[in-house]
């Protein structure tokens, strides 16, 4: 064959193969590629809906001992943590000048005696109401125990009745302590009146040298010494705060919309408090008034204080103190044997929740009817069955019918 013709033939063959290769590459570029995705599974499990918020511990019954009269306070030697018995002298107040003997001071002292007497009467009335409530709670608990023994009521109703009995008895004890506080305030006010009226001594010199002993109304530990050094103090100046470190409650500020969902007596868990395991608690009260605060993003929020009682034995949380930060999980709903899907698989479309199910390695869009939800899971009432696989965190590349490629090492639920 002529060399010139041979070269032309070779050139044509090469050109043809090059063109075929370009066409194949272009065709492959238009072939859809599988979308890499993470996959999770629909499961059956017990779903607990909780409201998670930080909280703070506080002493349930905190008593702040204040100065009953104007005078010179002696140095207070008590320290935080010291145990103080009821009636023990915690401070002495001495007269500072003859002005304690003037008519105005005498009238003020008389008025404080009258106020203290009114406080005693109010405390006695509170005790009567608390005694009535305690008797009713005891009777109710006894009736519930009898019904429970005859299988006439549930275990939860029995626990609720016993809890109400304990709460009523604690309220009665608190009211009795309040009467003792009022009685000590009355004694202090009468002593102050006697000192300014000159009843305790026959001359002004002896009266000027008299002292008012400030006593503890309850047996408790010193929480804080407000005024340690010697100073001239005004009436009602805080001196020492007392309380029982074992009588601790937890206050959680929740959004007002969440507070509506929390029933009294709801179970809760106290986590991240520093102990080895979570503590069990119960909702005792919700304050009736909300307050306005700002979130970390500067958004105004309405929050409601919710009070929790720790139901575990005090020995398990004895290390907790006043004002400690904790994390609270308050249970508002519990669905047993629920069909759940990872919440990261859900997205909204046309006002309904949808998800992409994985069928034959392809995405299939399904509409779901959902129920209870948590940050991790959502209850599925219709649309998916247990064991079905769904696409987690679907991107805009995932559409109905697209082929999927499972990501190796991707985290799944």
Q: What is the pLDDT of residues 11-55, one digit of tens each?
A: 777 778 777 777 666 665 555 678 788 899 999 999 999 999 999
What's the mean pLDDT in 67-80?
91
User: CA 356, CA 182: separation in Å to the nearest integer?
Assistant: 68
For residue 254 the two structure tokens come to 């929740």
Using an 8 Å Cβ cutoff, are 385 and 43 in contact? no
Q: Which residues of 80-103 are buried (b: 16+ CB within 10 A; e: fewer)?
A: eeeebeeeeebbebbbeeeebbee
Span 295-320, pLDDT tens digits: 888 899 999 999 999 999 988 998 89
Stated pTM of the model: 0.56
Using an 8 Å Cβ cutoff, are 141 and 161 in contact? yes
DSSP 52-74: EEEEEEEESS-EEEE-SSSEEEP
What's the mean pLDDT in 61-78?
90
The alpha-carbon radius of gyration of the chain (Å, integer) is 37
CA diameter of the chain = 151
Does 289 score more than 60 pLDDT?
yes
Contacts with 323 (C-beta within 8 Å, 6 or more apart), sequence order: 56, 57, 58
What is the 8-class DSSP label of residue 161? Answer: H
What's the mean pLDDT in 278-301?
92
CA count, 13 A, side-chain hemisphere, 110: 8
- What is the predicted pLDDT for the residue at 205? 44
Neighbours of 170 (CB within 10 A): 17
What is the 8-class DSSP label of residue 75? Answer: P
User: CA 248, CA 300: separation in Å to the nearest integer?
Assistant: 30
């Amino acid at each position: 064959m002529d060399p010139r013709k041979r070269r032309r033939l070779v050139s044509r063959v090469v050109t043809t193969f090059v063109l075929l290769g370009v066409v194949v590459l272009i065709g492959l570029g238009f072939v859809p590629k599988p979308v890499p995705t993470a996959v999770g599974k629909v499961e059956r499990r017990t779903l607990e809906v909780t409201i998670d918020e930080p909280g703070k511990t506080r002493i349930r019954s905190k008593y702040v001992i204040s100065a009953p009269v104007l005078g010179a306070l002696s140095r207070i030697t008590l320290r935080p943590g010291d145990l103080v018995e009821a009636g023990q002298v915690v401070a002495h107040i001495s007269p500072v000048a003859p002005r304690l003997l003037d008519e105005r001071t005498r009238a003020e002292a008389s008025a404080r005696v009258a106020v203290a007497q009114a406080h005693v009467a109010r405390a006695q009335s509170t005790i009567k109401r608390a005694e009535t409530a305690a008797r009713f709670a005891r009777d109710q608990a006894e009736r519930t125990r009898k019904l429970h023994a005859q299988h006439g009521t549930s275990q939860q109703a029995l626990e609720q009745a016993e809890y109400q009995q304990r709460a009523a008895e604690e309220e009665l004890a608190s009211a009795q302590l309040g009467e003792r506080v009022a009685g000590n305030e009355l004694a202090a006010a009468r002593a102050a009146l006697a000192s300014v009226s000159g009843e305790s001594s026959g001359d002004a010199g002896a009266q000027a040298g008299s002292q008012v002993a400030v006593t503890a109304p309850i047996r408790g530990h010193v929480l804080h010494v407000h005024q340690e050094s010697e100073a001239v103090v005004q009436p009602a100046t805080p001196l020492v705060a007392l309380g029982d470190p074992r009588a601790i409650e937890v206050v959680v500020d929740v959004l007002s919309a969440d507070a509506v969902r929390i029933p009294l007596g709801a179970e809760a868990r106290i986590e991240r408090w520093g102990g080895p395991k979570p503590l069990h608690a119960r909702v005792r009260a919700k304050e009736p008034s909300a307050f306005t605060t700002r979130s970390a993003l500067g958004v105004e929020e309405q929050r409601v204080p919710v009070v929790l009682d720790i139901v575990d034995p005090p020995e398990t949380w004895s290390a907790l103190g006043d004002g400690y930060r904790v994390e609270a999980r308050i249970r508002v709903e519990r669905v047993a044997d629920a069909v759940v899907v990872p919440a990261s698989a859900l997205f909204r479309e046309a006002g309904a929740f949808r998800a992409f199910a994985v069928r034959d390695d392809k995405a299939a869009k399904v509409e779901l009817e959902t129920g209870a939800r948590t940050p991790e899971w959502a209850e599925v009432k219709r649309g998916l069955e247990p064991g079905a696989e769904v696409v987690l965190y679907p991107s805009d590349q995932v559409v109905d019918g697209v082929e999927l490629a499972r990501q190796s090492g991707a985290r799944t639920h």
